C-alpha cells in the first residue's frame, strides 16, 4: 500500500497476525467436525505468508487475470471510482460509490448532476479510466460541506459513506457505546483495566467476560498441575531450577 508515486506504507494494525488466528480458528473447527464424523485427528499447518497472500483478494485476482501488478493507489479502490477518502469543510470522509445509480445520486447531492451524464463519468468503467479527471473535481466539491452534512445527506439517498474517525471519536460513537464495545475488568495490580469487547454475539451462549489478562506466569502452576497432571513436587522442582 501507499500513495501513488510515494513509498510503501504499512498497515496500521498487524492484520496478518489477527487473520491467521481467525483462519486457524476456522481450521480447528473444520478439524473438529472431521473428528466427530470419522473419529480421526489431524495436523493443522498455518502460515502467516499463506494467509497474507490469500487475503489479497481482488488485488491478487487483478494480477492473476491480467498479469499486471497493481500500483499504489493510497486510499482509492483499483476497480471502483469514486471509492476513497475526500476532504470536507472540517475533516475527511470516506465515499464508497458502488454503482452508477449511486454515482448519480451523489452527483445530485454534490450539486453537480451533470457528472452523471458526462461520457467520461457515466459508467464505473469510464470513471476508472478517467479517475485522474474525476477525483480532483470531487475534491473541489466536497470541501464545501462538513463531514456530518455529507454523511447525513448521502445516507439519506442511499449512497454509502462514513466519517473518518480517530479512536477518541470511535469510542464516543453512540453505536459503539450502544454495542458496549469498550468494557472494564478487575485486575490484580491495576484496579480496573479497559478491554475491547468481542464482536461475536451469540443468542444462546453469549461471550462471558470473567477475567482480565493474566499476570506473567499467573496460571503456570494451575496449567502444569491440572492440565499436564504434574505433581506438586515436580512443579516445585521446575520452579527451583528456574524453568518456570
Give the pLDDT confidence of 205-218 residue by residue, as tens digits.
999 999 888 888 88
What is the average per-residue pLDDT within 31-55?
Answer: 94
17 a catalytic residue: yes
Please state the separation of Cα 16 from the chain's center in Å.
11
The count of structural domains within the chain is 4
Does 74 reside within a domain?
no
Residue 91 CA: distances (Å) to CA of 37, 94, 149, 159: 55, 11, 12, 19
Does 140 reside within a domain?
yes
Does residue 100 share a domain with residue 87? yes
Does residue 169 share a domain with residue 186? yes
| pLDDT tier for residue 66 given thresholds of 50, 70 and 90 | very high
Does residue 140 share a domain with residue 183? no
Does 188 reside within a domain?
yes
Does 35 reside within a domain?
yes
Does 94 reside within a domain?
yes
Does residue 151 share a domain with residue 190? no
Cα distance between residue 49 and residue 30, in whole Å = 21
Supply the pTM of this predicted model.
0.77
Does 172 reside within a domain?
yes
| pLDDT tier for residue 188 given thresholds of 50, 70 and 90 | confident
pLDDT at 4 over 80: no
Does residue 98 share a domain with residue 147? yes
Does residue 136 share a domain with residue 108? yes
Supply the range of the domain harboring residue 47: 15-66
User: Angle at the Cα of 185 (from 220 to 215), degrees rounded to 5?
Assistant: 25
Does residue 243 share a domain with residue 197? no
Does residue 129 share a domain with residue 201? no
Does 6 reside within a domain?
no
Does residue 235 share a domain with residue 182? no
Amino acid at each position: 500500500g501507499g500513495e501513488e508515486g510515494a513509498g510503501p506504507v504499512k498497515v496500521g494494525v498487524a492484520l496478518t497476525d489477527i487473520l491467521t488466528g481467525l483462519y486457524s480458528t476456522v481450521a480447528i473447527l473444520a478439524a473438529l467436525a472431521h473428528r466427530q464424523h470419522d473419529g480421526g485427528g489431524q495436523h493443522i499447518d498455518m502460515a502467516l505468508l499463506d494467509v497474507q497472500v490469500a487475503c489479497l483478494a481482488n488485488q491478487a485476482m487483478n494480477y492473476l487475470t491480467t498479469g499486471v501488478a497493481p500500483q499504489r493507489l493510497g486510499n482509492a479502490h483499483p476497480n471502483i471510482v469514486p471509492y476513497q477518502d475526500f476532504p470536507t469543510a472540517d475533516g475527511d470522509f470516506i465515499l464508497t460509490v458502488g454503482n452508477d445509480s449511486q454515482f448519480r445520486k451523489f452527483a445530485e447531492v454534490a450539486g453537480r448532476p451533470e457528472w452523471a451524464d458526462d461520457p467520461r463519468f457515466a459508467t464505473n468503467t469510464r470513471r476508472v479510466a478517467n479517475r485522474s479527471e474525476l477525483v480532483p473535481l470531487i475534491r473541489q466539491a466536497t470541501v464545501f460541506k462538513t463531514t456530518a452534512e455529507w454523511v447525513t445527506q448521502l445516507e439519506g439517498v442511499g449512497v454509502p459513506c462514513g466519517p473518518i474517525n480517530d479512536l477518541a471519536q470511535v469510542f464516543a460513537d453512540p453505536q459503539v457505546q450502544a454495542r458496549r464495545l469498550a468494557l472494564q475488568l478487575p485486575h490484580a495490580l491495576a484496579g480496573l483495566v479497559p478491554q475491547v469487547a468481542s464482536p461475536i454475539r451469540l443468542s444462546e451462549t453469549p461471550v462471558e467476560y470473567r477475567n482480565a489478562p493474566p499476570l506473567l506466569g499467573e496460571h503456570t502452576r494451575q496449567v502444569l498441575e491440572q492440565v499436564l497432571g504434574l505433581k506438586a513436587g515436580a512443579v516445585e522442582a521446575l520452579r527451583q531450577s528456574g524453568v518456570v
